[in-house]
Amino acid sequence: MPAISAATERQFLATVAPCIPDLRRYAVSLTRNRADADDLIQETLLRAALKLHLWRPGSNIVAWLIVMMRRLHLSKFVSGKRNQTEMVPIEGWDLPAPANQTEVIEVREVEARWPSLSRSHREVLHLVAINGASYEEAAERLHVPIGTIRSRLARARNALRGEDRAVH
């Protein structure tokens, strides 16, 4: 194994660090188990460090790591049939992903339009769209019929999209 320069090692580490959320998502999709996903990430990063001499700066590091992770998973976790795994739903995990430009712009547009909504529209959006309350729960909480919740929600969503300027 050829010697690796300190500069190449620093560049590799700086390039790999931002890829970890992507690797975590992929590991979870392969293993469906948090402990196995963490093990797979560690194994992949260890293998990448040992094979650093094969990596070419400027190449697609995520693709290289994903191929490595998939091969490790197939050889160690699938064909080896380690121990029985416990299924853990992914919804409860905190898998951060940076917002893309479009999402940032959309959030800014919603923030700008939010104050122009009537109080009743803000309330129904907060209950249903943000807190995840059912229409029935929102109707009970606001003391209005379910049909009123549906119409307020539709009007409020249209206003947030900029489709309806008269929301009061």
Residue 1 belongs to some domain of the structure: no
Please spell the DSSP secondary structure of 63-130, one letter per residue. HHHHHHHHHHIIIIIISS--SPPPP--GGGS-------HHHHHHHHHHHHHGGGS-HHHHHHIIIIII
Same domain? 73 vs 115: no
Residue 14 belongs to some domain of the structure: yes
Predicted local confidence at residue 152, as pLDDT:
92
Residue 96 belongs to some domain of the structure: no
pTM summary value: 0.44
Closest CA to 98 of 45, 16, 10, 20: 20
Same domain? 15 vs 78: yes
Place of tokens 């790999």: 16
Same domain? 57 vs 14: yes
| Domain CATH code at residue 134 | 1.10.10.10
Residue 24 belongs to some domain of the structure: yes
Cβ neighbours, 10 Å, residue 30: 19
Same domain? 50 vs 109: no
Predicted local confidence at residue 147, as pLDDT:
93
Same domain? 140 vs 72: no
Predicted local confidence at residue 93, as pLDDT:
56
User: Where a domain ends, among 56, 85, 114?
Assistant: 85
User: Where a domain ends, among 85, 114, 139?
Assistant: 85
Predicted local confidence at residue 168, as pLDDT:
47
pLDDT averaged per 10 residues in sequence order, the chain, 168 residues: 72 84 87 87 87 79 87 74 52 58 74 86 85 88 93 88 60
The percent of residues in the chain predicted with pLDDT above 90, rounded, is: 14
Q: What domain range is 33 assigned to?
A: 6-85
Residue 35 and residue 45 in contact, taking contact as beta carbons nearer than 8 Å? no
Predicted local confidence at residue 22, as pLDDT:
86
Residue 94 belongs to some domain of the structure: no
Residue 153's contacts (CB-CB under 8 Å, 6 or more residues apart) are: 124, 125, 128, 129, 135
Same domain? 54 vs 109: no
Same domain? 119 vs 80: no
Predicted local confidence at residue 2, as pLDDT:
60
Predicted local confidence at residue 60, as pLDDT:
82
Residue 166 belongs to some domain of the structure: no
Tally of structural domains, the chain: 2
Please spell the DSSP secondary structure of 69-81, one letter per residue. HHHHIIIIIISS-
Predicted local confidence at residue 95, as pLDDT:
52
Residue 39 belongs to some domain of the structure: yes
Residue 113 belongs to some domain of the structure: yes
- Would you call 131 helix, strand, or coil by DSSP? coil
Predicted local confidence at residue 140, as pLDDT:
93
